[in-house]
């Protein structure tokens, strides 16, 4: 909830789509100690997730710079929260600024 409130409604709607896809699949994360990345095999390709969870090579992350299904799944498997600052700054919810007229 805290994360959802920290990003724009549009960004949250994109992430909700990723969450729906993630719930239908199970991901295996294989650590490559040389590159400090997790390899995630899919039907057609292998994605690479940075071990610090700040980037993924999947199309969603590359296009939106928001936590993708792979990052979200990893956090769920590890029972950790997604840090509120783990996305591109332009998605931050700045609607809390009051405008005086």
Up-side HSE of residue 19: CA atoms within 13 Å toward CB? 11
What residue spans define the domains of the chain? Answer: 3-95
DSSP state of 58: S
**What gap in Å lies between CA 64 and CA 2, rounded to an integer?**
20
pLDDT tens by residue, the chain, 101 residues: 677 888 888 999 999 999 999 999 889 999 999 999 999 998 889 999 999 999 999 999 999 999 999 999 999 999 988 877 677 888 887 654 444 55
Q: What is the pLDDT of residue 96?
A: 47
Which residues make beta-bridge pairs with 92?
7
**What gap in Å lies between CA 53 and CA 56, rounded to an integer?**
8
Which own/partner contact pairs does 60-64 have at CB distance under 8 Å and 24+ positions apart? 60/14, 60/18, 64/11, 64/14, 64/88, 64/91
DSSP state of 35: T
């Amino acid at each position: 909830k805290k994360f959802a409130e920290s990003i724009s409604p549009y960004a949250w709607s994109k992430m909700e789509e990723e969450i729906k896809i993630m719930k239908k699949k199970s991901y295996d994360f294989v650590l490559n100690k040389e590159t400090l990345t997790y390899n995630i095999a899919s039907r057609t390709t292998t994605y690479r997730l940075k071990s610090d969870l700040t980037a993924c090579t999947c199309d969603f992350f590359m296009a939106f710079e928001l936590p993708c299904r792979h990052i979200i799944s990893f956090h769920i498997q590890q029972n950790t929260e997604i840090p509120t600052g783990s996305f591109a700054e332009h998605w931050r919810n700045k609607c809390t600024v009051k405008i005086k007229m």
